[in-house]
Amino acid sequence: MSLQGFDPTGRASGTGIITSSTPDPRGARVPLAGGIAKQSQFTVSSQKQLVEQYRKMSPAMRRALSQKLKDAGYQTPVTDQYNASVRQAFLDASSDLSAEINYLRTNDPAALETGTIDLNTFLGQRSAGTGGGERKASKYITKTNIRPETLESTIDEVVRSYTGRGATADEIAKWSEKINARLAKPSSFAETTYTPQGETTFQEVTPAFSPKEYLFQQIAKTDEAKANKVFGFYNAFKRALGVS
């Protein structure tokens, strides 16, 4: 997808990962945030499109890409096979490229007039030491999706564990609404941070919101659950989760 005058800050309708910037020979010089320069044409892809692009590469292209990524400081093996580490490094590098183009557009737009900036030129600069340096930590956020029928089954399971009966339609509606509201909050998303240190990349995972754990905690507080005295089971569940 190529967009003329695309706004990589996300204020325009087409958001995504910017994979290239090309000077627009037809464009007039206009005032921009970082000075006066020509508008550029940006090519934008989604993460899904980039993954598909990597999957469709020939073995020779995969090997060449993995070598370029490694030379540029990304932690990846050199291989012509489909490899999850190379795929992740490809996404990391594409995101870093997008951030660099966005930075130049905002702070030094004239730099975008010197020629096309794409992943090849970006990795080449990093390999040559002109734009590289230590890899910054990369953070990825994953939103939890749960199907309605799965959520209904989970609610019924937890209610049955505490009360000995199945969940009513009202209970399913009530807890479904509460859980879906929590799932929509960014604070409930899982976060995976990759931090490179020398030849090693450390991975830190912050778990996503767990509907089942939430239900166990909330339903345990209801009068019916307390009356059934099933806290032995609840405490066992907490211990299994490592919850104090």
Annotated domain spans of the chain? 2-134, 141-241
What DSSP element (H or E) covers 43?
Answer: strand 40-45
pLDDT band at residue 186 under the 50/70/90 scheme: confident
Q: Residue type for 108, please?
A: D
Per-residue confidence (pLDDT) for residue 38, from 0 to 100: 59
- Our separate counts of H helices and E strands in the chain read 9, 9
Measured CA to CA, the distance from residue 135 to residue 138 in angstroms comes to 9
pLDDT band at residue 37 under the 50/70/90 scheme: low
Measured CA to CA, the distance from residue 156 to residue 39 in angstroms comes to 57
pLDDT digits (tens, 9 = 90+) for 55-77: 999 999 999 999 999 888 888 88
Q: Which two tokens stand for residue 101?
A: 């183009």
Per-residue confidence (pLDDT) for residue 190, from 0 to 100: 81
Model confidence pTM above 0.85: no
Statement: residue 238 has pLDDT above 80: no
**Cβ neighbours for 17, distance < 8 A, ≥ 6 positions apart:** 44, 45, 46, 47, 50, 94, 95, 97, 98
Q: If we measure between CA atoms, which residue out of 25, 27, 202, 32 comes closest to residue 102?
A: 32
Q: Which two tokens stand for residue 156?
A: 């019924």
Q: What mean pLDDT is reported for the chain?
A: 77
Highest mean pLDDT among 11-20, 207-216, 228-237 belongs to 207-216
Phi-psi region of 133 (alpha: psi -120 to 50; beta: other; left: phi over 0): left
pLDDT band at residue 202 under the 50/70/90 scheme: low
Beta-sheet strand order (sheet of 138-142): 138-142, 190-197, 200-206
Q: Residue type for 209, please?
A: F
Percentage of residues of the chain with pLDDT beyond 70: 71
Of 2-11, 42-51, 53-62, where does mean pLDDT reach its minimum?
2-11
Per-residue confidence (pLDDT) for residue 25, from 0 to 100: 66
